């Protein structure tokens, strides 16, 4: 078999990780051929604004491009849009796309992210039932909004709550349906969950907890509402499903890579297959801030930092193992949530400030050490608390709760 093309480094995935890997390779002086292959038609663009500014109509697409179109050509980075990899031949160093095209590589960086997880119930594929994962997803939502008065959002994670906030601001009647007993249950402590539940309700959102979706009701081939497991019916002209992603790793797993919920990589983002790296949402990696666990993180920070690790390992330019402290953010209404560290496994939680003021922090501890902070409209805590997480500082809970004491002073206390 003759490859249609071959590149020294082929990057599969045109999101933040894939784009940053290519950018970093050029920045550190890599002169070999580089290509970014993506399954969307667009050049690399930012994903977080999709459920925020872009959905709200406050930021046009050109402003969420990671780089303007001329940037890639100027740096001799080839873009291969509209292609989807269906198989990887690790021995032959070759991938095959859905239309049968074969492309060779010297090194492969897998940055394919994940696909939106879909409901399995009746009506899940009806017109008017949407995910919020790609520009095309959100463009379809925007196109339908003029004819929509009521929206059911399935999922009380970041995507669901951000979409709910935007749609409420746009004048829609929104119901959030969460299967667990609180929103943000997988990523935050209960005080933060209850705060955001109250905020959304104060803005008119109907938040349903412990509510399982039985089916999406369909009338005239379009979504017309949601029936819950308890028999309740929520009429709606639009349903948005935000229940997480499925890592796009099947071609690598089929090729023999170790993995399951993501593909496993080492501290240099190397998979178990020769000359194949994985980064970003789809990479299950050893994280020094996860108490020795193998984790898969869905964040821009993780994708960008791992891109740098992989690029330097490929270029052999002072490669360093991945050791970045995780951070995340979410904007809902006038609230800015900033998170640093990983709170999973915490055994204590300290409230710093008063949620009634809409500016406070939650500080998570494990065995007395600070492991994470959730900061709501409290950027100073977020910035200063980062060092506490990095150093796993052992700080008394009363000191952490005292808002008159800046967190930065506690390291030297």
**Residue-wise pLDDT tens for the chain (413 aa)?**
566 799 999 999 999 999 999 999 999 999 999 999 999 999 999 999 999 999 999 999 999 999 999 999 999 999 999 999 999 999 999 999 999 999 999 999 999 999 999 999 999 999 999 999 999 999 999 999 999 999 999 999 999 999 999 999 999 999 999 999 999 999 999 999 999 999 999 999 999 999 999 999 999 999 999 999 999 999 999 999 999 999 999 999 999 999 989 999 999 999 999 999 999 999 999 999 998 789 999 999 999 999 999 999 999 877 899 999 999 999 999 999 999 999 988 999 999 999 999 999 999 999 999 999 999 999 999 999 999 999 999 999 999 999 999 999 998 65
Compute the distance between CA of residue 166 and CA of residue 52 in angstroms, rounded to an integer: 7
**CB-count exposure of residue 271 (10 Å: 0-12, 13-18, 19+):** buried
- Compute the residue count for the chain: 413
Give me the phi and psi of 396, to 5 degrees please: -65, 140
Q: What's the confidence (pLDDT) of residue 3?
A: 66
Compute the distance between CA of residue 209 and CA of residue 215 in angstroms, rounded to an integer: 17
Q: How many helices, marked H, and strands, marked E, lie in the chain?
A: 10, 26
Residue 9 has which token pair? 């480094």
Compute the distance between CA of residue 297 and CA of residue 96 in angstroms, rounded to an integer: 27
Residue 44 has which token pair? 């690399």
Q: What's the confidence (pLDDT) of residue 179?
A: 96
| Helix or strand run (H / E) with residue 365 | strand 359-366
Crossing angle of helices 158-169 and 190-202, rounded to 10° = 20
DSSP state of 404: T
- What pTM value is reported for the model? 0.95
Q: CB neighbours (10 Å) of residue 397?
A: 15
Alpha helices in 112-189 (DSSP H): 135-144, 158-169
Structure-derived torsion over alpha carbons of residues 146, 151, 154, 155, reported in degrees to the nearest 10:
80
Q: What's the confidence (pLDDT) of residue 226?
A: 98
Compute the distance between CA of residue 27 and CA of residue 314 in angstroms, rounded to an integer: 13
Q: What's the confidence (pLDDT) of residue 52?
A: 95
**Backbone dihedral region for residue 371 (phi beyond 0: left; psi -120 to 50: alpha; all else: beta):** alpha
Q: What's the confidence (pLDDT) of residue 4?
A: 73
**How far apart, in Å, do the first and last CA atoms of the chain sit?**
66
Residue 267 has which token pair? 């501290």
Q: Which residue in 349, 377, 383, 353 sits closest to 363, CA to CA? A: 349
Contact present, 149 and 244 (Cβ < 8 Å): no
């Amino acid at each position: 078999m003759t490859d249609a093309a071959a590149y020294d480094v082929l990057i599969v995935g045109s999101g933040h990780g894939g784009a940053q890997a290519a950018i970093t390779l050029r920045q550190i002086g890599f002169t070999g051929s580089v290509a970014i292959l993506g399954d969307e038609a667009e050049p690399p663009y930012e994903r977080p604004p999709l459920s925020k500014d872009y959905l709200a109509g406050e930021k046009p697409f050109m402003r969420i491009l990671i780089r303007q179109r001329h940037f890639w050509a100027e740096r001799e980075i080839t873009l291969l849009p509209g292609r989807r990899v269906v198989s990887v031949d690790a021995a032959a160093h070759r991938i095959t796309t859905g239309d049968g095209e074969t492309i060779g590589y010297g090194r492969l960086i897998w940055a394919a992210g994940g696909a939106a997880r879909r409901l399995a119930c009746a009506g899940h594929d009806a017109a008017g039932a949407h995910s919020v994962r790609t520009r095309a997803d959100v463009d379809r939502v925007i196109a339908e909004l003029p004819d929509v008065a009521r929206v059911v959002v399935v999922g009380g994670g970041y995507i669901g709550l951000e979409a709910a906030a935007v749609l409420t601001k746009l004048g829609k009647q929104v119901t959030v349906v969460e299967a667990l007993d609180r929103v943000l249950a997988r990523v935050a402590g209960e005080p933060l969950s209850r705060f955001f539940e109250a905020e959304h309700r104060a803005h008119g959102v109907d938040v349903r907890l412990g509510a399982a979706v039985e089916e999406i009701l369909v009338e005239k081939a379009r979504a017309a509402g949601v029936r819950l497991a308890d028999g309740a019916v929520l009429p709606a002209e639009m349903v948005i499903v935000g229940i997480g992603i499925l890592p796009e790793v099947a071609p690598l797993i089929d090729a023999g890579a170790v993995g399951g919920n993501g593909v496993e990589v080492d501290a240099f983002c190397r998979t178990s297959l020769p000359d194949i790296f994985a980064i970003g949402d789809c990479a299950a990696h050893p994280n020094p801030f996860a108490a020795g666990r193998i984790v898969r993180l869905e964040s821009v920070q993780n994708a960008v930092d791992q891109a740098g690790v992989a690029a330097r390992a490929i270029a052999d330019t002072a490669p360093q193992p991945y050791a970045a402290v995780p951070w995340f953010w979410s904007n809902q209404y006038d609230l800015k949530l900033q998170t640093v560290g990983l709170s999973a496994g915490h055994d204590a939680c300290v409230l710093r400030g008063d949620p009634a003021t809409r500016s406070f922090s939650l500080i998570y501890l494990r065995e007395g050490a600070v492991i994470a902070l959730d900061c709501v409209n409290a950027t100073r805590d977020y910035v200063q608390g980062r060092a506490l997480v990095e150093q796993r500082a052992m700080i008394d809970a009363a000191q952490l709760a005292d808002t008159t004491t800046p967190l930065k002073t506690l390291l030297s206390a």
